[in-house]
Chain A
Amino acid sequence: MKVHLKYNYPQLTKKIIQDKLSELGYKFKIIGFGEFVFLEKIPTEKMMELTEQFQEYGIEVVENQKSVLVQKIKDVIVEMVNSEIPLNVKSSVHIAEKLNLSYVHLSSIFSEVTYTSIENYIIIQKIELAKQLIINTDMNLTEISIQLNYSSVAHLSTQFKNNTGMTPSAFQRIIAKRKEFTNNNS
């Protein structure tokens, strides 16, 4: 029998990190999504052990300062896109305020590290969420466009098409046929 799952990533990752850190036995405090601090000194080999264990979960310890910043920007963006509460400021203002750095500075580092712009990354995340909603829920496009804070369903469709080269309905149809195809062939 087939079982479908939905993941709450913040909860999932927090639990993994808490469990692993508790196993390790050193005092720690989780200070935010993707950030925790050790409250006592930890020997390098233990840190390496932890890093390896995290890797098994696909959790990567970010070391390079620019990459750390980029990851923070991405976290703010993902939170923004997934939040159902519409922003009352421009996303650039929101991101700059959240991270307390100028948007120009943030943009420059983001582009350098990721080869794309913050604006484009926001669109990628929005379209990604749209795809998930299309596949995993029976929300229609209008409802999805509202949840994702698009000014209209046409705006969502246009951005979807610009990003993927196909309309949301073509996407939905292809994914459905693909599932059928893999089911028939496995």
Chain B
Amino acid sequence: MTTEYINICLADDDQDDRLFFTDAFDELKIKTKVSTFNDGVELMNYLNDADSVLPNVLFLDLNMPKKNGLECLLEIKKNENLNDIAIAIYSTSSSEEHIEETFINGANIYIKKPSDFETLKKILAEVVTINWQYHTSGLNKDNFLMRM
């Protein structure tokens, strides 16, 4: 168990944000393998490919061209094969309705994009750690909801 990796996928059209996130993941205690995607279409092609290694956690930017985070979320939730993935949506938006909507549509985690690196690292550490507990202790992922 101590040498297991957590597989993470990240979909974000902003190159700086992608770098921000991958740097933050690199600094975590838990070992992660991160794959990044530039937009929703690229992401869904990967997830729908039978040979792909599915992630334990998927971080989705809400605002992406071609296919946005919400569309990806809905598509993923309809696909039984992708049921085991914990989905974390992040966005700069923080309207209550918007946030509740993403949970109702099936997201497990909602993250309001922080502006500084240290906060992001803390948030990601918590999300990944708790997800790991769910993964290794057989907890009910349907009840896994977190708002950061």
B103 pairs with A174, CB closer than 8 A: yes
Q: Which chain B positions have C-beta within 8 A of A121?
A: 133
B2 pairs with A112, CB closer than 8 A: yes
A132 pairs with B140, CB closer than 8 A: yes
The bracket for how many chain A residues form the interface is 20 to 34
Distance to closest chain A CB from B21 (angstroms): 19
Q: Which chain A positions have C-beta within 8 A of B130?
A: 124
Q: How far is the CA of A49 from the CA of B147 in the complex (A)?
A: 43
Distance to closest chain A CB from B138 (angstroms): 7
Interface of A: prevailing SS: helix
Interface of B: prevailing SS: mixed
B140 pairs with A115, CB closer than 8 A: no
B residues contacting A by CB (< 8 A) are 1-2, 29-30, 100, 103-106, 110, 129-130, 132-133, 136-140, 143, 145-148
Contacts beyond the supplied A70-B1, A115-B129: 18 A-B pairs with Cβ under 8 Å: A58-B138, A66-B2, A67-B1, A113-B1, A113-B2, A121-B133, A128-B139, A128-B143, A131-B140, A164-B147, A165-B110, A165-B146, A165-B148, A171-B145, A174-B145, A175-B143, A181-B104, A182-B106
CB-CB nearest 4 A-B residue pairs: A165-B147, A131-B143, A174-B103, A177-B104
17 contacts between A and B (CB under 8 A): A70-B1, A113-B2, A114-B132, A114-B133, A114-B136, A115-B30, A128-B143, A131-B143, A132-B140, A164-B147, A170-B100, A171-B145, A174-B100, A177-B100, A178-B104, A181-B105, A182-B106
